[in-house]
Amino acid sequence: MNQHANLHNSRLEEHAYRVRHNALVMAETQGQGYIAQALGVADVLTVTYFHAMNHRPLQPDWEDRDRFLLSVGHYGIAHYSVLVAAGYLPEEELPTYAQDDSRLPMSGMTSYTPGAEMSGGSIGLGLPMAVGMGMGLKRKKSKSFIYTLMGDGELAEGPTWEAAISASNYQLDNIIAVVDFNQVQADGPSMKVMNTEPVVAKFEAFGFYVQRVDGNDLSQLVAAFDRAREHAEPKPRIIICDTKMGCGVDFLEGREKSHFIRLEADDWKRAYAALEKGAGK
Amino acid sequence: MNQVSTVTKISAPTIASSSIDEGHRTRAMPFGNALIKLAETHPEIVGMSADLAKYTDMHIFAEAYPDRFYQMGMSEQLMAVAAGGLAKEGFVPFATTYATFASRRCYDFMSQAVAEQDASVKLIGGLPGLTTGYGPSHQATDDIAIFRAMPNMVVIDPCDAHEIEQMVPAIAEYHGPVYARILRGNVAVVLDEYGYRFELGKAALLRGGRDVLIISTGFMTMRALDSAKELQADGIDVAVLHVPTIKPLDEMAIIREAKRTGRLVVTAENHSSVGGLGEAVASCLSMNGVSAEIRRIALPDRFLAAGTLEVLQERYGITRSAMSKNIKRWL
Give the pLDDT confidence of A209-220 residue by residue, as tens digits: 999 999 999 999
Inter-chain CB proximity B112 and A166 less than 8 Å: no
Contacts of B88 in chain A (CB under 8 A): 117-118, 129, 132-133, 136
Write out the residue limits of the CATH 3.40.50.970 domain(s) in chain B. 22-189
Contacts of B117 in chain A (CB under 8 A): 110-111, 118-119
What is the C-alpha separation between B38 and A237, in angstroms, rounded? Answer: 36
Query: Across the interface, which of B75, B81, B108 has its CB nearest the CB of A132?
Result: B81
Right CATH for A3-278 from 2.60.40.1760, 3.40.50.970, 3.20.20.60, 3.30.300.30: 3.40.50.970
pLDDT band, residue A201 (cuts 50/70/90): very high
pLDDT band, residue A32 (cuts 50/70/90): confident
**Total length of chain A:** 281
**Of the candidates B152, B271, B147, B256, which has an alpha carbon nearest to the alpha carbon of residue B204?**
B256
Inter-chain CB proximity B88 and A132 less than 8 Å: yes
Which DSSP category does A103 fall into?
S
CA distance B249 to chain A (A): 26
Alpha carbon distances (Å) from B90 to A82, B83, B120, B175, B200: 27, 11, 9, 11, 22
Any chain A CB within 8 A of the CB of B124? no
Inter-chain CB proximity A128 and B112 less than 8 Å: no
Burial class (CB in 10 A: 0-12, 13-18, 19+), A155: buried
CA distance A251 to chain B (A): 36
Q: Please state the three-class secondary structure of chain B as a single string.
A: CCCHHHCCCCCHHHHECCCCCCCCEEEECHHHHHHHHHHHHCCCEEEEECCCCCCCCCHHHHHHCHHHEEECCCCHHHHHHHHHHHHHCCCEEEEEEEHHHHHHHCHHHHHHHHHCCCCCCEEEEECECCCECCCCCCCECCHHHHHHCCCCCEEECCCCHHHHHHHHHHHHHCCCCEEEECCCCEEEECHHHHCCCCCCCCCEEEECCCCEEEEECCCHHHHHHHHHHHHHCCCCCEEEEECCEEECCCHHHHHHHHHCCCCEEEEEEEEECCCCHHHHHHHHHHHCCCCCCEEEEEECCCCCCCCCHHHHHHHCCCCHHHHHHHHHHHC
Inter-chain CB proximity B113 and A111 less than 8 Å: no
Inter-chain CB proximity A132 and B112 less than 8 Å: no
Q: Residue B1 above 70 pLDDT?
A: no
Inter-chain CB proximity A166 and B91 less than 8 Å: no
Query: Across the interface, which of A111, A117, A128 has its CB nearest the CB of B78?
Result: A128
Inter-chain CB proximity B117 and A119 less than 8 Å: yes
Any chain A CB within 8 A of the CB of B35? no
Tell me the CA end-to-end span of chain A in Å, nearest whole number.
Answer: 23
Inter-chain CB proximity B83 and A132 less than 8 Å: yes
Window 231-290 of B, Cβ < 8 Å to A: none
Contacts of A177 in chain B (CB under 8 A): none
Inter-chain CB proximity A136 and B85 less than 8 Å: yes
Span B133-178, pLDDT tens digits: 999 999 999 999 999 999 999 999 999 999 999 999 999 999 999 9
Window 46-75 of B, Cβ < 8 Å to A: 46, 70, 72-73, 75
Write out the residue limits of the CATH 3.40.50.920 domain(s) in chain B. 201-330
Average per-residue pLDDT for chain A: 95
Any chain A CB within 8 A of the CB of B86? yes
Any chain B CB within 8 A of the CB of A109? yes
Average pLDDT rounded to a whole number, residues B230-244: 97
CA distance B104 to chain A (A): 15
Inter-chain CB proximity B82 and A125 less than 8 Å: no
Span B166-225, pLDDT tens digits: 999 999 999 999 999 999 999 999 999 999 999 999 999 999 999 999 999 999 999 999
Any chain A CB within 8 A of the CB of B87? yes
Average pLDDT rounded to a whole number, residues A114-132: 96
Contacts of A139 in chain B (CB under 8 A): 46, 89, 91
Q: Residue B2 above 60 pLDDT?
A: no
Right CATH for B22-189 from 3.40.50.450, 3.40.50.970, 3.40.50.2030, 1.25.10.10: 3.40.50.970
Model pLDDT, residue B261: 79
Q: Regarding the domain delimited by B201-330, which CATH topology (the fold level of the hierarchy) does it fall under?
A: Rossmann fold (3.40.50)
Burial class (CB in 10 A: 0-12, 13-18, 19+), A235: buried
Inter-chain CB proximity A118 and B73 less than 8 Å: no
8 A C-beta contact, residue A127 and residue A171: no
Residue B80 dihedral angles phi and psi, to the nearest 5°: -60, -45
Pairing, β B178-181 against β B122-126: parallel
Residue B67 dihedral angles phi and psi, to the nearest 5°: -85, 0
Q: Residue A125 above 60 pLDDT?
A: yes
Q: Which helix (H) or strand (E) holds A147?
A: strand A146-151
pLDDT band, residue B16 (cuts 50/70/90): low
Span B42-66, pLDDT tens digits: 999 999 999 999 999 999 999 999 9
Any chain B CB within 8 A of the CB of A131? yes
pLDDT band, residue B19 (cuts 50/70/90): confident
Domain boundaries, chain A: 3-278
Any chain A CB within 8 A of the CB of B91? yes
Q: Hey, what amino acid is at A125?
A: L
Contacts with B102 (C-beta within 8 Å, 6 or more apart), sequence order: B76, B123, B124, B125, B140, B143, B179
Span A156-184, pLDDT tens digits: 999 999 999 999 999 999 999 999 999 99
Inter-chain CB proximity B75 and A117 less than 8 Å: no
Any chain A CB within 8 A of the CB of B88? yes
Strand, coil or helix: A210: strand
What is the C-alpha separation between A77 and A99, in angstroms, rounded? Answer: 13
Any chain B CB within 8 A of the CB of A133? yes
Query: Across the interface, which of B73, B81, B111 has its CB nearest the CB of A129?
Result: B81
**For a pLDDT cut of 70, what percent of chain A falls above it?**
100
Average pLDDT rounded to a whole number, residues A248-269: 88
Contacts of B66 in chain A (CB under 8 A): none
The reported pTM is 0.95
Inter-chain CB proximity A135 and B90 less than 8 Å: no
Q: Residue A81 above 70 pLDDT?
A: yes
Inter-chain CB proximity A136 and B73 less than 8 Å: no
Model pLDDT, residue A5: 82
